[in-house]
Amino acid sequence: MTSASAPGKVILFGEHAVVSGTAALGGAIDLRARVTVQDLPGRILIDACDLCLKKFSLDLITGQVVSSDAVHFTRYVSAVLKDFDAQDLRVEIKSDLPMASGLGSSAAIVVATTAALSQHLGLGLSKKEIAERSHRIEKSVQHGLGSPMDTALASFGGYLQVSDDILPLDLPELEMIVGYTKQPHDTRSEVAKVQSMRSRYPDLVGPIFQAIGAISGRAVPLIREQRLASLGELMNVNHGLLEALGVGTRELCELVYAARGAGQALGAKLTGAGGGGCMIALPAPGGSAALITALKQARGLAFPVKIGCEGVRLESDLG
Ligand code: PMV
């Protein structure tokens, strides 16, 4: 039996603009997906559960209860198994990460499964090989879509700056509060919406992208020097620019304003593609509990995360 785990991620700054080549900054978080593989002669079985497994549908023909979130999980795991031509296995997934929320749950699952299989099959893939292979697999499931940021963060951990290439950054851990709207988002359609706006208003959207890229660059020394008040201010500016691009929603903005209104957030912004999913808030020192309460009162699912955490790791190798 072999287990591996990999972290989810948040995008701190730069989403959407990065699609057109400016810099984005992301960090691995301390919520993880854990994947265990063990021999099961003659069968391939996938078992899954996550933080929010709550949607069930009943197949009236077979009488089988199917969770739509579990279907989402198994699509990624099947792609990894196929890529390794792996058979006669039971794969068990346990994830702290809500699906399709912008926290990188599919990348974490693909990377953890790839690492567990590499160990189980005695292939000894390096982290770099795991990251490259996982990115290719995630993209194939998502029909060609998917920046390398999620799989790279799930593999290497820490912080990454992404533009034309991926640059690891040595920065201290940060604590933030995530507010999840409980609405899954569709990265593909949000990206298409923003890119369409860009082609219709290049003179307006171009400068917005430039400003977002500049924020990503300015944020790096602020994190390094722990200048949190200024970092929070940049989060607020970045959120406003994302709003201008049309990827905010009422629910996301309610969480952002609830966080700021609680007086305990130094800054707050949506994270990821928008159109649902999550926002992040930077708590003032000692302000995390009040911030979580404010986000819950605004009907969000709220939890603290550490940013800059460890990448993929083997949890055990009992076989
Ligand atoms: O929704 P997420 O967390 O997968 O973030 C997407 C980030 C975008 O910049 C909108 C798209 C991309 O591929 O970088």
Asked if residue 187 and residue 148 are part of one domain, the reply reads no
Asked if residue 101 and residue 179 are part of one domain, the reply reads no
Residue at 16 is within a domain: yes
Domain range for residue 143?
2-170
Lowest mean pLDDT among 65-74, 160-169, 175-184, 221-230: 65-74
Instruction: Classify strands 89-95 and 44-50 as parallel, antiparallel or unpaired.
Output: parallel
Q: Is the distance from the beta carbon of residue 11 to the nearest atom of ligand 1 less than 6 Å?
A: yes
Residue range 260-274: mean pLDDT, rounded = 93
Residue at 38 is within a domain: yes
* Residue 157: CATH number of its domain: 3.30.230.10
Asked if residue 132 and residue 226 are part of one domain, the reply reads no
- Confidence category of residue 45, pLDDT binned at 50, 70, 90: confident
**What's the rounded Cα separation, in Å, for the pair 77 and 91?**
8
- Mark which of 152, 170, 188 sits at the end of a domain: 170
- Mark which of 170, 187, 209 sits at the end of a domain: 170
Asked if residue 164 and residue 25 are part of one domain, the reply reads yes
Set 59, 69, 150, 170: catalytic member? 150
Provide the token pair at 232. Answer: 């929070």
Provide the pLDDT for residue 99. 81
CB contact at 8 A, 34 and 95: yes
- Confidence category of residue 68, pLDDT binned at 50, 70, 90: low
Q: Which residue has the higher pLDDT, 75 or 232?
A: 232
Residue at 155 is within a domain: yes
pLDDT exceeds 90 at position 22: yes
What's the one-letter identity of residue 42? Answer: G
∠ Cα 280 283 289 (to 5°)? 100
**What would the pLDDT profile of 183-205 be if each residue is shown by its tens digit?**
988 888 999 999 999 999 999 99
Q: Which residue has the higher pLDDT, 277 or 71?
A: 277
Asked if residue 274 and residue 146 are part of one domain, the reply reads no
Asked if residue 47 and residue 143 are part of one domain, the reply reads yes
DSSP string of the chain, one letter each residue: -EEEEEEEEEEEE-TTGGGGT--EEEEEEEEEEEEEEEE-TT-EEEEEEETT---EEE-TTT--EEEHHHHHHHHHHHHHHHHHT--SEEEEEEESSPTTSSS-HHHHHHHHHHHHHHHHTT----HHHHHHHHHHHHHHHTTT---THHHHHHHHBSEEEESSSEEEE----EEEEEEE-S----HHHHHHHHHHHHHH-HHHHHHHHHHHHHHHHHHHHHHHTT-HHHHHHHHHHHHHHHHHTT---HHHHHHHHHHHHTT-EEEEEEESS-SSSEEEEEEPTT-HHHHHHHHHHTT-EEEEEEES-B--EEEEE--
Best probe residue, ligand 1, of 147, 166, 194 (max atoms within 8 Å of C-beta): 147
Q: Which atom from ligand 1 is nearest to the alpha carbon of 190?
A: 10
Asked if residue 187 and residue 125 are part of one domain, the reply reads no
Residue at 18 is within a domain: yes
The model's pTM: 0.91
- Mark which of 170, 194, 225 sits at the end of a domain: 170
Provide the token pair at 203. Answer: 């003179």
- Residue closest to 293 by CA, chosen among 301, 250, 52, 285: 301
Asked if residue 164 and residue 35 are part of one domain, the reply reads yes
Asked if residue 181 and residue 164 are part of one domain, the reply reads no
Q: Is the distance from the beta carbon of residue 166 to the nearest atom of ligand 1 less than 6 Å?
A: no
**What would the pLDDT profile of 228-253 be if each residue is shown by its tens digit?**
999 999 999 999 999 999 999 999 99
Asked if residue 149 and residue 81 are part of one domain, the reply reads yes
What's the one-letter identity of residue 18? Answer: V
Residue at 223 is within a domain: yes
150 belongs to the catalytic site: yes
Asked if residue 210 and residue 151 are part of one domain, the reply reads no
Q: Which residue has the higher pLDDT, 74 or 229?
A: 229
Q: Is the distance from the beta carbon of residue 272 to the nearest atom of ligand 1 less than 6 Å?
A: yes
Mean pLDDT, the chain, whole residue set: 91
Q: Which atom from ligand 1 is nearest to the alpha carbon of 17?
A: 9
Provide the pLDDT for residue 318. 47
* Residue 239: CATH number of its domain: 3.30.70.890
Q: How many domains does the chain have?
A: 2
Residue range 75-101: mean pLDDT, rounded = 90
Residue at 312 is within a domain: no
Residue at 317 is within a domain: no
Asked if residue 41 and residue 17 are part of one domain, the reply reads yes
